[in-house]
Amino acid sequence: MRTILVSGGTSTLGRAICEQFVRAGDRVYCGYVSNKETAEALADSYGSSLIPLHLDIQDPKSIASAIQEIEGLDVLVNNSGVFSVFTPTELLESEWQRIFDINVTGLFRLTQQCIPSLTERKGCIVNIASINALHPGFGGTSHYDASKGAVVAYTKSLAKELSPSIRVNAVAPGLLQAPYLDDANPLRQHYEERSLLHSLVEPREVAKVVQLVSDCRAMTGELVGVDCGYLMG
């Protein structure tokens, strides 16, 4: 049994990742900030295999106290991430900073504090990037695209710096299936039209890849896309 920490564990993707690891028999710490209710509901469903953990990656004290709760970390999944849409001229510096403070600096803060424990257990890190890092320019997403580009570069750099003790990889999902993307949503329609599989990405399919990447002892410094063939379309 491995011990896994998933930041943003109650999000659309985070929840699927938590469930994937729990089903594999691992013990999962499900990080949340505001969504305590969902974290507790997941804990009710999965018993002692899933432990809700308050974890705000913008707050170093919250990170430190969360990490103190965890004994022997094997896998860190940096899943927390936020998104917004603003044209480059409308975008306020404060919004640029908010996106970077969570998607990039928060990921760094949490990673840095997990390194000693991961080193001890020869563990691994899986960072959730996005196809926006590889195919930027959906429209109004320059700040988000730049933040995910930084996640990819940080992943590859860390893989070198932390080898051979800790493996570090990234997974780049395409547009995830989510309740707010109804059939009439133009982004959904565009995605379904262009992707080779004519489909949005099911979160559980991404979760399977996150688990695979965490298991595979021959992988480090990789970026794995899970996008239903969008980039090929």
Counting contacts by CB under 6 A, is residue 32 touching ligand NAP?
Answer: yes
Q: Where are the beta strands (DSSP E) in the chain?
A: 3-6, 27-32, 50-54, 75-78, 124-128, 167-173, 223-226
- Sign of the Cα torsion 57, 61, 64, 67 reads negative
Binding ligand NAP by CB under 6 A: which of 3, 20, 49, 79? 79
How many residues appear in the chain?
Answer: 233
Nearest to 175 by CA among 227, 128, 210: 227
225 contacts ligand NAP (rule: CB under 6 A): no
Instruction: Identify which of residues 56 and 192 has a Cβ nearer to ligand NAP in the complex.
Output: 56
Reference 98, options 44, 167, 147; nearest CA is: 147
Smallest Cα–Cα separation from 226: which of 195, 192, 183?
195
C-beta separation of 32 from 52 below 8 A: yes
Please tell me which residue in 144, 154, 191, 230 is annotated as part of the active site: 144
**Site mask, ligand NAP, residues 169-208, x = CB under 6 A?**
----x-xx-x------------------------------
- Could you give the angle at which helices 12-23 and 203-215 cross, rounded to 10 degrees? 50
Closer by beta carbon to ligand NAP, 106 or else 123 = 106
Q: Is 118 in the site for ligand NAP (CB under 6 A)?
A: no
- Count CB neighbours of 62 within 10 A: 18
* Residue 144 falls in the annotated catalytic set: yes
Q: Are 75 and 27 in contact (CB under 8 A)?
A: no
- 3, 5, 14, 143: which one binds ligand NAP (CB under 6 A): 14
Interaction of residue 18 with ligand NAP, rule CB under 6 A = no
Task: Return the residues of window 126-155 that contact ligand NAP according to CB under 6 A.
Answer: 128, 130
Letters for 37-76 (x = contact with ligand NAP by CB under 6 A, - = none) are ------------------xxxx------------------
Which of 24, 41, 82, 134 is close enough to bind ligand NAP by CB under 6 A? 82
Chosen residue from 53, 102, 125, 226 binding ligand NAP by CB under 6 A: 102
Q: How many whole angstroms from its chain centre is CA 45?
A: 22
Closer CB to ligand NAP, 46 or 165, in the complex: 46
User: Which residues form the catalytic set?
Assistant: 144
Query: Can you give the binding site for ligand NAP, defined by CB under 6 A?
Result: 7-8, 10-14, 32-35, 55-58, 79-83, 102, 106, 128, 130, 173, 175-176, 178
